[in-house]
Amino acid sequence: MENQDKYWLAFASIEKIGSVFIKTLIDCFGSAKSAWCAGADDLYKTTNLTKRQISDFLSARDKTDPDRCLEYIEEKGVKYINFMDEAYPQLLKEISNPPMTLFYKGDLKRCNFERTLSVVGSRKASESAKNVLSKIISEFKGTDICIVSGLALGIDTCAHKSAIKNNLSTIGVIASGFDYVYPSANKDLYKKIEDEQGIIFSEYYPSFTPIQWRFPHRNRIVTGLSKGTLVAEAALKSGAIISANLCLEQNRELMCMPGLLTNPNTEGIYKLIKNGAAVVTCAQDILDTLDWQIERQKQPKNASHEKAVSLSAKEQEVFSIIAKDGATTDGLAQVTGLEFGELMVILTKLELEGMIAQSDGERYIST
């Protein structure tokens, strides 16, 4: 059978068409190649698409070379799967508008797609919410549960870092093509997930920019990859509430982590709970809601200290200070004499390695 990849990629390269349009064509014509090569008359007669949609597609198709699309993706080093591939996540395939092509970095084999938990929440998350979320995720240590989130600041970042710290796989779903890292502050986190700890997914061609509407549109993939979604913090009008509604539309389990009543970012949480979302205060609540039975692998003792031997001299010095009594950023700078930028790079690495964690938002402690 002829390889259809270049036609899937050609469809994905056209910004003006979306997954529903592409699926409609492929359902009508039977394959990506047949859909791509269909004549104008057949497109107008066979599909229920509007004249404007078809006209936009035909105009873009005339300017698009499928062979060049394939070459471009290979040059970028980006991997991909399409909706018809066996490797395409089954839970995502079941939503109403799944992406037709998923671009990714990382290794699909790292993640158990039958044990995925999505986590969403505020970009300006409270320390209290991040601490509770970190504790809940830490209780999954030794399992094959995979944490899914959107690689944004706040709760998303906390979810991914907590997964990494506890040796869990994690999936980040981004709202742009791979030519962009957004937010740039998560560059190291992107790299850690890509190289070691999981997968980064995008439905967008590498050159597509992170424009505003793509963020809520991306959320359907975050929730669609999982049997259930945990909302860690959410204002009444927020992206997390959009994700919660998508979760319900997809007929998946919705769970909420209660927080301080005085925090505006919990107003959405309590509204969702009143409307029937499950309350989560520990990992077992999630296991019960999703009806998961899990077996834990034994973890090696003193893993953090074993990792320390592979550090550079400066990294070892910083880790040793933190391991002894804990330390603040200012205190570390004074003792080590390191410049702030260099110190933050070291702290970020140690945190991503799961060797240290922030306590109360200011002090670092060893884990």
Query: Residue 73 — pLDDT band, cuts 50, 70, 90?
Result: very high
At CB < 8 A and 24+ separation, what contacts does 77-82 make?
Answer: 78/103, 78/104, 78/105, 78/178, 78/206, 79/103, 79/104, 79/105, 80/5, 80/8, 80/9, 80/104, 81/108, 82/4, 82/5, 82/8, 82/32
Under 8 Å between Cβ of 352 and 161: yes
For the domain made up of 106-290, give the CATH fold.
Rossmann fold (3.40.50)
Average pLDDT on 235-249 reads: 95
Query: pLDDT of 129-169, one tens digit each?
Result: 999 999 999 999 999 999 999 999 999 999 999 999 999 99
Average pLDDT on 105-127 reads: 95
Instruction: Please give the pLDDT value at position 75.
Output: 96
Q: Which residues pair with 208 in a beta bridge?
A: none
Instruction: Please give the pLDDT value at position 3.
Output: 82
What's the token pair of residue 321?
A: 């200070």
Which CATH number among 2.130.10.10, 3.40.50.300, 3.40.640.10, 1.10.10.10 corresponds to the domain 303-366?
A: 1.10.10.10
Instruction: Please give the pLDDT value at position 348.
Output: 79
Instruction: Please give the pLDDT value at position 298.
Output: 57
Q: Which residues pair with 356 in a beta bridge?
A: 366
Average pLDDT on 1-15 reads: 90
Q: Please report, for the chain, the start and end positions of each structural domain, with discontinuous segments joined by +.
A: 1-76, 106-290, 303-366
* Buried b or exposed e, range 55-91, using 16+ CB within 10 angstroms: ebbeebbeebebeebbebbeebebebbbbeeeebbeb
Instruction: Please give the pLDDT value at position 338.
Output: 87
In a 10 Å sphere around its CB, with 0-12 CB exposed, 13-18 middle and 19+ buried, how is residue 244 labelled?
A: buried
Q: Which residue has the higher pLDDT, 361 or 97?
A: 97
Instruction: Please give the pLDDT value at position 308.
Output: 44
Query: pLDDT of 339-361, one tens digit each?
Result: 887 888 788 788 877 788 877 66
Model pTM score: 0.81
Query: Residue 316 — pLDDT band, cuts 50, 70, 90?
Result: confident
For the domain made up of 1-76, give the CATH fold.
DNA polymerase; domain 1 (1.10.150)
Average pLDDT on 68-84 reads: 96
Query: Residue 2 — pLDDT band, cuts 50, 70, 90?
Result: low
Instruction: Please give the pLDDT value at position 223.
Output: 98
Report the phi/psi class of residue 59: left, alpha or beta, with left for phi > 0 and alpha for psi in -120 to 50: alpha
Q: Which residue has the higher pLDDT, 325 or 107?
A: 107
Instruction: Please give the pLDDT value at position 361.
Output: 64
- d(CA 10, CA 69) in angstroms, rounded, equals 6
Of 136, 123, 200, 201, whose CA–CA distance to 163 is shortest? 136
